[in-house]
Amino acid sequence: MIGNTKIDEHLKLALTLDDAKAWVEAHTKELQEDILNLIKINQLFNEGIDEDGQVIGFYSKLTEILSNGRKKAGDHFTLLDTGEFFDSMYINVLKDSIYIDANYTKMEDQDWWSIDILGLTEENLEIYAERIKNNFIIYARKVLGID
């Protein structure tokens, strides 16, 4: 039986902790933007890699000519081009997972396209895991009334 001490109050509050609610609340807008930036900036723009660390592709000499030198032959794909793909990326937070998606219809017929382009590398998964852990702690402290 739970009494009326300070510890008892925290135990009562602990009973209200909800893992699904914690998961959803932990995925703040800021965290979602940070996850997308790990993909857009760290993986695609800076390195041109998918979730497995595989380079997506390299620009050809013809591409360099057609882009008036904006895309240099031998440089990795960034997928930034018009910005449309990057702007279309979003995260759906489900009750126990996240789903990263984008409008990739213009690219899916390319031989280099893979859905793995929308995933996080192991290194970035570790960054995400640390952030989510910290947000779970914030959620628990809030529910338990611990400041």
Q: What is the reported pLDDT for 110?
A: 95
pLDDT given at position 16: 74
> What angle is formed at CA 130 by the lines to CA 116 and CA 94, rounded to 5 degrees?
55
> Rounded CA gap, 13 and 10, in Å?
5
Q: What are the residue ranges of helices labelled H in the chain?
A: 6-14, 19-26, 29-37, 61-66, 84-88, 122-144
In sign, the C-alpha dihedral spanning 93, 95, 98, 102 is negative
What does the pLDDT read at residue 24? 92
What is the model's pLDDT at position 1? 53
Where is 93: in which H helix or E strand? strand 90-93
Which tokens hold the place of 119? 């995933």
Which amino acid belongs to residue 59? Y
Per-residue pLDDT tens, the chain, 147 aa: give them.
556 787 777 677 777 778 888 899 999 999 999 999 999 999 999 999 999 999 999 999 999 999 999 999 999 999 998 899 999 999 999 988 999 999 999 999 999 999 999 999 999 999 999 999 999 999 888 887 887
Provide the pLDDT for residue 8.
74
